[in-house]
C-alpha cells in the first residue's frame, strides 16, 4: 500500500467514532476500501485520475467485483461495462431494489465522488451478511460506466445505455478528448458499440434506485448536518448563444458606430446572473464557456459564442428560465445592433423525487437522530437517468468546504458511515413496505 492510501486511511480513522460500527456496518472496512481505490489512477497531485472507459476505471471495477463476489453477490457486466451484483431475495425474488453509483472521475478529481456511493451500496450487503438479515426482495449493487463525462464531454454513458436512452447516431460520430473514435475507445475497454446500444434492461420489476453521493456544496455544512435528502435532481439545458456584430479597428472606429459583439455578450452575461432568482429558488444559470472572435488586442470583437448552463429541479421553471434567457439575448442583441443565434445542445428532464420515497428516507434519517433536511441537487447523477424509468432517491453527504472534483475533496468517515446507515435503513424499509 502506498503512502497516500495509508495517509488517507489514517486521516479517515483518526476522528472516527467507533460507536458507529454497528448493525454490521463497518467504518474501518469503508476506510480501507476508499484507501485501496485511491491507489488506482492516483495523480501527482494526490487526486483521482480514472477517466471513463480507461484502464484505471476497469481496474477499479475489477477490485469492486472481487469485493462483491466475496460478499456473496452474483456479478455480471452488461454491454456498456456497467457492473451488476445481485443478491436474490428470500420470497419476492422477482421484485428488485437497486443502489449504486460510479467509479470514474474527472481529471485530477477527488476520492469520494462516486466511489462512496458504490461502497455504500455494497456495505449494505456486507452488513446484512454479518447481521443475518435476509432481504425479501432481490437487491442489486450497480457500478455505472463513465458518469463524469470527461472522456466524451457528455457523461452518464452507462446509466443512459442501461435505460435505453443512448443517441446512437450521436455516439457513433463522437471522438474522445484525445481524438479517438467512440468505437475504438469501447474496443480498447473490451466492449463494442452494438453491445453498448443493446444493453438496455427491463425496469418493470424494479421498485426503486437509491444513490449515496457527496453533496458537492456547502448547504449541509452550514446546517451542521452529516447527511441530507435530495428533493430533486436538476435537469440541464445547455444553450449555445451567439452574438454577431462587426469586427473593426479598435482605434479608428468611433464608439457610436460600433457593432461590438463582446459588449453585447458582456451585458447579456450580467443579466443572466440575476435572472434565475426571478423564476425559482432552485434555478441556476451559468455562462462557463465563451469564445471571442477574432480575439485580437486591437480589434473590436465581431463575434462571441457562449454556452449558458440552465438548471432547475422543476421542468416548468427550468423551461421558463430557458425562454427568459433567449428573450434577454434577443433584447440585448437589438440594443447593441448585433445578430443573435441559438443552438440548443442539451435538454434533459429534471427528476423530482416522489413523495413516498422522500418519506421513507426521512424516516430512515430520523431513526439515526438526524434532523432531515431536503435540498436540491444541481448536479447530474446516474440517478437522474434511472429516474426516467423508476422512482429514485438520493442521500447527500456533507462535503468539507463544499469542495468537489478536486484532490481536496473530503467527507469525514463519520458522515460517510451515517449515510450508509441511512441507506441501509431506507432499503430495508423499501424491502418491507415497497414504494
pLDDT for residue 189: 96
Cβ–Cβ < 8 Å for 350, 392: no
What is the pLDDT confidence band of residue 379, given thresholds at 50, 70 and 90?
confident
Mean local confidence (pLDDT), 332-348: 94
C-alpha cell at 127: 452488513
Report the alpha-carbon distance of residue 294 to residue 182 in Å, rounded.
32
Three cell numbers written together for 351: 427528476
Q: With bands split at pLDDT 50, 70 and 90, how would you rate the model's confidence at 155?
A: confident
Which class is 235-347 in CATH?
Answer: alpha beta
> How high is the mean pLDDT of the chain?
96
Which DSSP letter does residue 57 get? Answer: H
pLDDT band at 332 (very low <50, low <70, confident <90, very high): very high
DSSP character for 202?
-
CATH of span 3-233+350-433 = 3.40.630.10
Q: Has residue 5 got a pLDDT over 70?
A: yes
Report the percent of the chain where pLDDT is more than 90.
93
Q: Is the peptide bond before 127 cis (omega within 30 degrees of 0)?
A: no
The pLDDT of 421-426, averaged and rounded, is 98
How is residue 286 written as a grid cell?
451559468
Nearest in space to 229 (alpha carbons), one of 220, 238, 237, 221: 220
Q: Which helix (H) or strand (E) holds 63?
A: helix 55-70
Read off the pTM: 0.88
pLDDT greater than 90 at residue 20 = yes
Mean pLDDT across 176-187: 96
Percent of the chain at pLDDT above 70?
A: 100
- Cell matching residue 183: 468505437
CA–CA gap between residue 405 and residue 114 (Å, rounded): 11
Q: State yes or no: pLDDT of 347 exceeds 70.
A: yes
pLDDT at 2: 60
Contact by Cβ (8 Å): 274, 285? no
Binding-site residue ranges = 102, 113, 148, 213, 405
The mean pLDDT value for 320-326 works out to 98
**Is pLDDT above 60 for 1?**
no
Give dist(CA 71, CA 267) in Å, integer: 57
Task: Name the phi and psi angles at 37, rounded to 5.
Answer: -65, -30
Q: What is the mean pLDDT of residues 86-102?
A: 96
Domain ranges for the chain, please list them. 3-233+350-433, 235-347
- Detail the residues annotated as belonging to a binding site for Zn(2+): 102, 113, 148, 213, 405
For residue 423, the model assigns a pLDDT of 98
In this predicted model, what pLDDT tens digit does every residue of 251-305 receive, in sequence order?
999 999 999 999 999 999 999 999 999 999 999 999 988 999 999 999 999 999 9
Least confident piece of the model among 327-341, 346-360, 415-429:
346-360
pLDDT of residue 153: 79
Amino acid at each position: 500500500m502506498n503512502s497516500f492510501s495509508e495517509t488517507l486511511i489514517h486521516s479517515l480513522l483518526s476522528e472516527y467514532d467507533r460507536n458507529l460500527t454497528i448493525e454490521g456496518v463497518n467504518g474501518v472496512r469503508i476506510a480501507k476500501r476508499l484507501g485501496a481505490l485511491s491507489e488506482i489512477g492516483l495523480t501527482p497531485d494526490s487526486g483521482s485520475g480514472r477517466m471513463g472507459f480507461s484502464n484505471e476505471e476497469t481496474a477499479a471495477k475489477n477490485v469492486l467485483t472481487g469485493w462483491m463476489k466475496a460478499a456473496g453477490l452474483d456479478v455480471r457486466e452488461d454491454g456498456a461495462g456497467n457492473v451488476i451484483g445481485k443478491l436474490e431475495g428470500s420470497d419476492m425474488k422477482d421484485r428488485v431494489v437497486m443502489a449504486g453509483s460510479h467509479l470514474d472521475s474527472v481529471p485530477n478529481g477527488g476520492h469520494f465522488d462516486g466511489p462512496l456511493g458504490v461502497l455504500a451500496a455494497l456495505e449494505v450487503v456486507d452488513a446484512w451478511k454479518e447481521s443475518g438479515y435476509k432481504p425479501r426482495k432481490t437487491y442489486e449493487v450497480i457500478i455505472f460506466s463513465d458518469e463524469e463525462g470527461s472522456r466524451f464531454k457528455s457523461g452518464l454513458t452507462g446509466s443512459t445505455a442501461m435505460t435505453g436512452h443512448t443517441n446512437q447516431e450521436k455516439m457513433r460520430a463522437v471522438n474522445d478528448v484525445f481524438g479517438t473514435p467512440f468505437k475504438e475507445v469501447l474496443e480498447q475497454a473490451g466492449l463494442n458499440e452494438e453491445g453498448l446500444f443493446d444493453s438496455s434492461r427491463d425496469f418493470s420489476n424494479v421498485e426503486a434506485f437509491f444513490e449515496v453521493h457527496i453533496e458537492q456544496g456547502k448547504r449541509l455544512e452550514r446546517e451542521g448536518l452529516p447527511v441530507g435528502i435530495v428533493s430533486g435532481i436538476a435537469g440541464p439545458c445547455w444553450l449555445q448563444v451567439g452574438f454577431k456584430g462587426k469586427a473593426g479597428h479598435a482605434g479608428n472606429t468611433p464608439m457610436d458606430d460600433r457593432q461590438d459583439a463582446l459588449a453585447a455578450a458582456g451585458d447579456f452575461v450580467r443579466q443572466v446572473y440575476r435572472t434565475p432568482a426571478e423564476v425559482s429558488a432552485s434555478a441556476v444559470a451559468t455562462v462557463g464557456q465563451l469564445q471571442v472572435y477574432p480575439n485580437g488586442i486591437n480589434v473590436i470583437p465581431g463575434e462571441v459564442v457562449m454556452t449558458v448552463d440552465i438548471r432547475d429541479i422543476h421542468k416548468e421553471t427550468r423551461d421558463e428560465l430557458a425562454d427568459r434567457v433567449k428573450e434577454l439575448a434577443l433584447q440585448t442583441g437589438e440594443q447593441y445592433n448585433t445578430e443573435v443565434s441559438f443552438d440548443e445542445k442539451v435538454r434533459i428532464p429534471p427528476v423530482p423525487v416522489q413523495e413516498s420515497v422522500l418519506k421513507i428516507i426521512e424516516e430512515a434519517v430520523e431513526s439515526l437522530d438526524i434532523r432531515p433536511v431536503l435540498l436540491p441537487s444541481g448536479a447530474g447523477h446516474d440517478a437522474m437517468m434511472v429516474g426516467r424509468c423508476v422512482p429514485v432517491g438520493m442521500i447527500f453527504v456533507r462535503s468539507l468546504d463544499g469542495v468537489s472534483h478536486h484532490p481536496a475533496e473530503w467527507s469525514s468517515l463519520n458522515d460517510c458511515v451515517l449515510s450508509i446507515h441511512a441507506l441501509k435503513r431506507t432499503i430495508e424499509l423499501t424491502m418491507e413496505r415497497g414504494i
